[in-house]
Every structure is written in C-alpha cells, then in structure tokens.
A and B are shown apart, each in its own frame.
Chain A
Amino acid sequence: MGARYFGAEVQRLEDPRLLTGRGQYVDDIRLPGMLHAVFVRSPHAHARIRGISLSRARAMPGVVAVFAIDDLGEPLSSARMPEMMPAPIIRRAHTQYVLARDEVCYVGEPVAMVVADSRHRAEDAASAVDVDYEVIPAVVDIRSALGEGAPRAHLGTIDNLAARLEVGFGDIEAAFAKAEHQLEFSLEQHRGIAHSMEGRAVLASPEPTPGRLTVWTATQSPYLVRRQLARVLQKDEQDLRVIAPDVGGGFGPKSVFYPEEPAIAAAALKLGRPVKWAEDRREHFVATVNQRDQYWNLSVAFDGSGRILGIRARVLHDNGAYLPYGVILPVTSLAPFPGAYALPALKATLDVIYTNSTPTAPVRGAGRPNAIFAIERVIDRVADHLGLDPAEVRRRNFIRADQFPYVTGMKARDGSPVAYDSGDYHACLDKALEMADIAGFEKRCEAARARGRLRGIGIGSFIEDTGLGPFEGATVRITPQGTVQVLTGAASQGQGHATTLAQVVADVLAVDITRVTVIGADTDRFPYGAGTIASRIAVTAGSSAHMAAVEVREKILKYASHHFEVAEQDLELSDGHVQVIGVPNLKIPLGDVAFALSGTVGQRMPANLKPGLEATAYFEATATPHSGGTTVAEVEVDPDTGMVELVNHVIVHDCGRIIHPGIVDGQITGGAVHGIGNALFEEMVYDGSGQPVSMTLGEYLMPTAPEMPPIRIGHLETPSPLNPLGVKGAGESGTISAIPAVIRAVEDALKPYRVFVHRYPLNPERVLRWIDAARQGEP
C-alpha cells in the first residue's frame, strides 16, 4: 500500500467548484414552486403571550400562509421540542415549542412563521403579525439567579437550576491540609457567538412519493436532524431524507436541532410546496445557540516548587432559556480541566443555570477553552505567587511522556474515565518557546519600552479530546468505469473531508485522487452517522474509510488471484490497476474488476465473491485520542489607550499523524484567530433587562486581517494507538489555547502594574482601568 497522498499537500477536490461560485449552499437551491419563510420572533427576554393575531399578515400581498403554534397542527402543536442528550444529572429539562405557545423565554424565540412568494414580502407580512405580550421579569445575571427572590426564567418553576455537575478525584482535603501554599481567585469567561459566515438555513420539499420529504439544512448533523424530525413529526425516518449540502462554516451551533427545522418541514407538508428559510445575520445573533458567561471561583493548593496538589472549583454557567443540547457544554467545561497536568486531586461543582437569553451550546472548542483557560490561569498565578518562571511551573506539573496512557481522574460525557493516549507536552512547550524566540524577548521588551509600549508574552498549554464516538461509517465502491465513490455520513463545513477521505482511500487502492469522489451528509446515500463536531471526523470517518477501502482491496486481490491464477502475495495495486508483480502486461483496470463483480445474467459470481466491488465499514470510537500542545503569544500594550497589538503567535501542535498538512494548519490558524477574537474582541453586550445590544457586525467585533499577528505552527506527531490511521483531531485546538496565551501575554505586559487579568474579552477601557487602579495604589 502506498502513502502517496497521506501527509501530502494535495489541492482540495472541493476547491474548483467553490472558487468559481458553483458552491451549493441551502439558500442557493431553487425549486419550482418554492416559497419563502420568515419567522416572527420575540422582542422580549421574558413575556407571556396574551394573544396572537395573524389576520393582517394573512391579507398581505404574496402571503400564502401564516402559522402560529396551533396552525401547525398535531403533533407539533402540543409537543415541545424533544430533549436532546438526556442525562440523569439534569434536574429539569426545559425545551421550547416549535412556535411559542403561552410564554417566550428569550429574545429571538420563534412565535410565528410567515410563508410568502418572496423573502421580501414575507418580511413585510411578518411586521404585520400582532402579538400581545405581557412583559415579565427576566433572569439576566447568573450570579443572582439562584438567590432567594430571583425571577424565574420559566413561569411556574421553583428555581433556575437545570443541573448541578459534581466531579472530583483524589483526596482533596488532604491536599489542602498539607499544602505549603494556597491561593483563591475568580475568573469571568465570555465566549460569544459563532458567526459562521453562512447563517442557518432550511429548505423542505415534499417528494412525489406521498408523505416523503427531502430537507436540505445547513447542519453539521444530518442524521440527528432526521432522527429528531421523525420524532417530532411522528414520521418514519425512512420517509425523511436530510441532506447537508455545502455548508458555510459550522463551529458547533449548526450541530443542534432547532425549531425552525420541524416548522419548515411542517409548512412544506401542509402546503405541498417547497419552503425555504435562510437565517439573516440579525437572527443569528439571537436565534442560533451561542456561548456566554461562566464565573469560576478557584482555590489552589500547591507546594513551594509550584507542584499543584489540589484544586477546588465552583462554576456558574449561563445555559440560556432552554437545553437544546443537554449539558454537553457544561460537561466539556469540566472534563478537560486537568489540562496537560498530572493533577492529584480535584473537587469541582458547576451549576447549569437557566436565564432568559438565547440557549447556549458548544461553539468551537465547546467548554474546552473554558476549562483550559482556568487551569492555565491557575498555573500562572501559582508561578507569579512563587516568583517562578511559568514555563518551569508547567514542566513540573505536566504529564510526562512516559506516563501515557494517563488516566486523569475525570469522566467523559459517556461516563467513561478520561485517558490521554499519547503525547509529549514538554517537547511541545520547548519547541513553542523556541519558535517564539523566548530568548530574545527581554530585548524586544526594552525596545518597546523606548517607544513607550509594554510587551508581554504568554503561554497556553492545552489538551483536546477528539474523535468522539460512537462511530462514523463509509462505503467505498468502485464503479465499472473505474471511479471510486466514498459514501459517508460525515458532513463538511469547510474541513475538507471530501479531500482527506479521498486521500486515505486513494492510498489504499493506489488510484489517482482525482478518481475519488466523496459523497457525504445525505441520509439516503449512507444510512448512519453521528455528526461533524468535536474534531472527530478524521479519526472516525477517516478510519472507517480506510477500513472499507482495505476490504475492497482484499476483494480485488481475491478476484485477481482467481483471474490470473496466482497467489495474492504476487499481486499489487498500482495506478488504478491490479497487476502481477513484475509482469506489467498482466494487469486489469479496477473498473473491469467492478464490472466482473456486478454479475452477468446466467453466470456464477467469479471466485464465489459477493456482488459489487464495495465494502462498508464503521469505525467505533471506544477511546478518545487526545491531541495537545502549546501556544505562545506575544503582545504589545499601549499604556495610554489600553489598546493591545498582537505581535506574534506560535502554536506547537501534536495531533498524531497528519492526513493533509494544509488542511490541518488551516484549521489551527482559523481556530487561533477565533480564540484571539474571544480574548480581545468578541463581546455580546446585553442591557439590564436582558435585551441584546450588540446586534450588528459593526458592534460585535470579529478579528479582521490587519490586526492579526503572524501565526506559525509547529508539529509534533505522536501517533495515536487508538485508530488505524494514528490520527487525532485538530479542529479546535487553535481556539482552546489562544485565549490563555493572549490573556497571559497582556497580563505579562502589565507586569509593572501587577494586574491580574481575570476575565475575557478585554477591551482597551478595561485594560486602562486596571493600569489606573494599580497606579492609584502607588505611594
């Protein structure tokens, strides 16, 4: 088997289409008779619905139908959205109706749906929908949400606590009892909105076969959508075809099942015509899940050399109004908390709190950036307290290369123990510091001081659990024309799966990569899948494609052995053919093998082989490969304005073996910029009554090109023993490690003022206030 493509920089197979404007995103699809839907959404954070009047809207030009909850008919009109990811730890799972019935619990909650012959006219009619709201008190701040007398996020409930997570291991009492040193401090974390450049979109079209519906949706999880749609509409899954076409970025929020999906599906079934909805940018601010605030209170016990003996943590988590994704986000905020360190003892509680705001669910990194930010701040605080080099304190606490597989003591979302499979955190740290030219830092500081600027450098070491179960699958099929089809459940929102899976298969079958077509994310073309989330596809779909290709290869060899009457070991695959080694004219194109295996009427199958040159394989992820590494960020602060300039950003990353370096580097770089955004720019501001204030991209700031530092990536490859490819996931590590590195770099720059940067995002005013506060403390 050759390795011509694995590890190579091949041009992505998706690119020619996408570069010439021939992508097909949901909003690009036009179907005959297609109608356009617009949702009327709650303008209030919390309100009773006293009445809804649709008559004015129904009378507007171009309007075909206007729906409130009862107009959707059974079963949608009486059942709330299903509980995704139920878990015993959840005390009370609130989910919403597809269209709100008596109560709205967040700004943006869908209340009515207008269907018209154009988006323009649907929007005109939407402003004619009259909803009589009675505004009621909203839960806005999680710090007071569990207190006596706090408003309730949902009418008729006793409190706002969705779940209380409690985790721990080791002897925490002993750790604190014997510790030479203790520290206590608090952190505020605010992650923000995904803002994929394409919003969500759903197009549902009734098929000629009665009762059958095709749904195109900008989703990361077509199988999840099909499953939940079937449940909610009370249809058989076989009557639903769900397709994720080209999707313009996902980053987590597109993996959730949303009320718009069954609403649009129901509209299409009722009206007997295709109905499409495309989320606009203002909707994305409130109608798509995002991440918001977490408050962490930490106590650390440590010895004089900086070895951490134990940590206590109490976390408050803003979950928004509903639980569209279970408690996955809170769970992933705790499970990675030990980070890259051999932590002896931990006791942590996390309160998942309902508020009257957009529901929260994973955004690029999910809770991992939160956990890693917390543990990295612990390390830095310990180092500062003892006057030690933070790099050295990391080295003293890191899990050593000889300690793998390392069981951390935490539990994963399925309850199994978290174990890191392989890695070398010391090597990653050392390489990152070298690439960041730590040796020259002092000189750079001096030069900056001469210009009236303050330089700082910060480290963020991280781990990332990847390759989540349960499985992904692939069918590899060779056609009589000699093309190779890879059918898979895996969905793509930019990760280049069509290329990486093709690389894996092309190597096994020794075909040119341009002969391989990957078809993914269509529930009619492949039966089962889980979703593109949590950096899992290279591991799962990649491995399954590999396994299926190996089976196909075995079948080819069996056939050729029979055909040429030679032993299988005397055969090889090369250049789209199977041939006898050393006898170049004894070869057959793979297409001919496929042809032979497609059967001839009246003849027996050759070599007693089963029909079809294809195989299907599922890779079950039973353990989780962990990638890891270190980011080093360097910044310059203007002490007169509080502005932070990013001057350098280095990431050393270990994701095991790498299928496509350009794709991996692209994921890491993009992730790093998103993390930089979280650290310095991205803030979703609300007013005191829970009204979102930041509602345009001019106010919610995302990173743009001129402000970004040069980003350099170094790779270590400690292959994972957990899958046949030896790969680990890579999609979110750039984000996870950028935040602590950039925050620490700012803190380091502010060293003369002894500021503890306890929150993100920063903005220039906050930085200036910290400098001022420190100056005021001066004699």
Chain B
Amino acid sequence: MDDTRAIHFTLNGKAEECDAPVRFHLGDLLREKFGLTGTHLGCEHGVCGACTVLVDGEAVRSCLMLGVQVDGCEVVTVEGLADPDSRLHPLQQAFAEKHGLQCGYCTPGMLMSLAAFLAENRDPSEDDIRDAISGNICRCTGYQPIVEAALLAAQRMRNASEG
C-alpha cells in the first residue's frame, strides 16, 4: 500500500515529473515532494480553504484531491502567483496595503481563491467577494481587510487591462 505512480505536470509554469505516492493528497505532494510549503493544511476535511491551489486555472482544495490526479494538469500555488520577475500579483500587493493578513496561515488559500475568482469576475461587488471567500476561514482579520484588498486589486486589474 505504498504505491507510487509516475506523473508529469506543470507546476508554477515549470514542467515537473515525480513518482507520486498514491495516498498523498495534492497538498501533501506539493509540500513533501516539491518543498512548496506555502500551501497550508488547516483542516484536511475540505472546510477551511487554507490549502487552496489552482488546477487548470480553477481553485480547488488541495486536501481533497489526490496528488496523482494532477497528471497532465497545470498547477499553480501561492509561490507561483507573483510574476517570474518577482513582481507581486495585484492581490498580494493589495493585501499588504490593506492589512489583509496577520498570522498569514489562511493567506495562501485566500489569495488563490481570489485570484481564480477575479480572473472570471472583473468587477465584483463587496457581496460577490464575501461570497467568493465564504469557503475560506480566517481567525485573525475578521475578513473586512481582505475584502477591501480584493476590491482594490480588482480595480487595479481592471485599470491595467483598460490602460
């Protein structure tokens, strides 16, 4: 019962391959096999959202997917959110300006959920954003600064694509 399976996938823009233990969930795979510990495990039963990553552009809870399931997929984690030249994603920048994080543990999940959401929703209302993060639990901030950061990021992203 300690099988592995060879998988090939794109991780943060780079082609990767590995022998993935079949019983590892995707969060385990990213943290243990690739040393990408930015994805955090908060509950391992699919409620807290801290483990959220992008698989083929969609936000998913990495604790609820098996690592072997990303064979052939494109996976993006918080480590890959910023530009390759290290410019912060507008969400990361806005979080810093609006104090959208305190302890930082829920933050990668918040960022990835919002990144996916804003990619498909360019002009969200505050309610839309609160709905988008309804599956992410934060114990530190009370959410309000996160919502403000997301609104600011959305505005900047709109301006950037228009300008």
Contact = CB atoms under 8 A, between A and B. Distances in A.
A binds B: yes
Given A251-B139, A705-B133, A706-B131, A197 B37 contact: no
Contact of A18 (B39, B44, B104, B130): B104
Given A494-B103, A495-B102, A19 B45 contact: no
Contact of B97 (A11, A196, A673, A702): A11
Contacts of B144: 669, 708, 710-711
Contacts of A674: 139, 142
Interface in A220-249: 246-249
Contact of B45 (A23, A25, A28, A697): A697
Given A248-B105, A249-B139, A706-B131, A12 B96 contact: yes
Tell me what chain A mostly uses at the interface: helix, strand, loop, or mixed: loop
Given A22-B38, A281-B44, A697 B107 contact: no
Contacts of A30: 35
A30 B129 CA distance: 36
A642 interface: no
A304 interface: no
A437 interface: no
Interface stretch (B54-62, B64-72, B73-81, B154-162): B73-81
Interface in A17-33: 18-25, 27-28, 30
Contact of B101 (A19, A667, A696, A734): A19
A546 interface: no
Given A198-B103, A248-B103, A697 B40 contact: no
A137 B53 CA distance: 47
A20 B76 CA distance: 12
Contacts of A496: 102
Nearest to A196: B139
Contacts of B138: 197, 670
Contacts of B31: 28
Nearest to B43: A281
Contacts of B140: 197, 249, 494, 666, 670
Contact of A670 (B45, B102, B104): B102
Contacts of A24: 37
A21 B99 contact: no
Contact of B82 (A20, A194, A249): A20
B86 to A, nearest CB: 8
B7 interface: no
Given A12-B99, A494-B104, A25 B43 contact: no
A493 interface: yes
B44 A249 contact: no
B141 A23 contact: no
Interface in B13-67: 21, 23-24, 31, 35-45, 47-48, 50
B95 to A, nearest CB: 6
Nearest to B92: A19
A305 B88 CA distance: 60
A563 interface: no
Contacts of B139: 194-197, 249, 251, 670, 674, 702
Given A12-B96, A20-B82, A669 B45 contact: no
Task: Pick from A197, A251, A703, A704 the residue with the most CB of B within 10 Å.
Answer: A197
Given A25-B105, A705-B133, A61 B2 contact: yes
A672 B47 CA distance: 22
A708 B143 CA distance: 8
Nearest to B24: A120
Interface string B86-116: 0010001001111101111111100100000
Nearest to A61: B2
Task: Pick from B31, B101, B147 the residue with the most CB of A within 10 Å.
Answer: B101
A280 B142 contact: no
Interface size class of A (residues with CB under 8 A): 35 or more
A672 B99 contact: no
B124 interface: no
B142 A21 contact: no
A197 B139 CA distance: 7
A705 B40 contact: no
Given A21-B37, A21-B38, A21-B77, A706 B102 contact: no
Nearest to B133: A705
A25 B23 CA distance: 24
B88 to A, nearest CB: 7
B96 A15 contact: yes
A670 B142 contact: yes
Given A18-B104, A21-B108, A494-B103, A673 B143 contact: yes
Interface residues of B, number: 59
A11 B96 contact: yes
B48 to A, nearest CB: 6
Given A20-B38, A20-B82, A704-B137, A197 B142 contact: no
B11 interface: no
B4 interface: no
Nearest to A14: B104
A7 interface: no
B45 to A, nearest CB: 6
A697 B137 contact: yes
Contact of A19 (B77, B88, B145): B88
Task: Pick from A28, A120, A666, A673 the residue with the most CB of B within 10 Å.
Answer: A666
Contacts of B120: none
B146 interface: yes
B130 A706 contact: yes
B103 A197 contact: yes
Interface in B110-136: 111, 127, 129-131, 133-136
A473 B23 CA distance: 47
Interface in A687-740: 696-698, 702-706, 708, 710-711, 734
A599 interface: no
A673 B31 CA distance: 31
Interface in A619-649: none
Contact of B105 (A12, A249, A673, A698): A249
Contacts of B2: 61
A666 B105 contact: no
B62 to A, nearest CB: 13
Interface in A259-317: 280-281
A16 interface: yes
A659 interface: no
Contacts of B48: 197, 281, 697
B134 A19 contact: no
A663 interface: yes
Contacts of B111: 19
A16 B96 contact: yes
A196 B106 CA distance: 10
A21 B79 contact: yes
B21 to A, nearest CB: 8
Given A21-B37, A248-B104, A666-B102, A198 B42 contact: yes
Contacts of A667: 102
Contacts of B141: 666, 669-670
Contact of A246 (B79, B104, B131): B104
A705 B108 contact: no
Nearest to B105: A248
Nearest to A661: B99
A591 interface: no
A28 B37 contact: yes
Contacts of B79: 20-22
A221 B48 CA distance: 26
Contacts of A23: 37-38, 104-105
29 contacts: A15-B104, A18-B104, A19-B88, A20-B92, A23-B105, A25-B37, A28-B37, A196-B105, A197-B106, A197-B139, A198-B40, A246-B103, A249-B139, A494-B101, A495-B102, A665-B145, A666-B99, A670-B138, A672-B142, A697-B43, A697-B48, A698-B47, A704-B133, A704-B137, A705-B134, A705-B136, A705-B143, A705-B147, A706-B127
Interface of B: 2, 21, 23-24, 31, 35-45, 47-48, 50, 77-79, 81-82, 88, 92, 95-99, 101-108, 111, 127, 129-131, 133-147
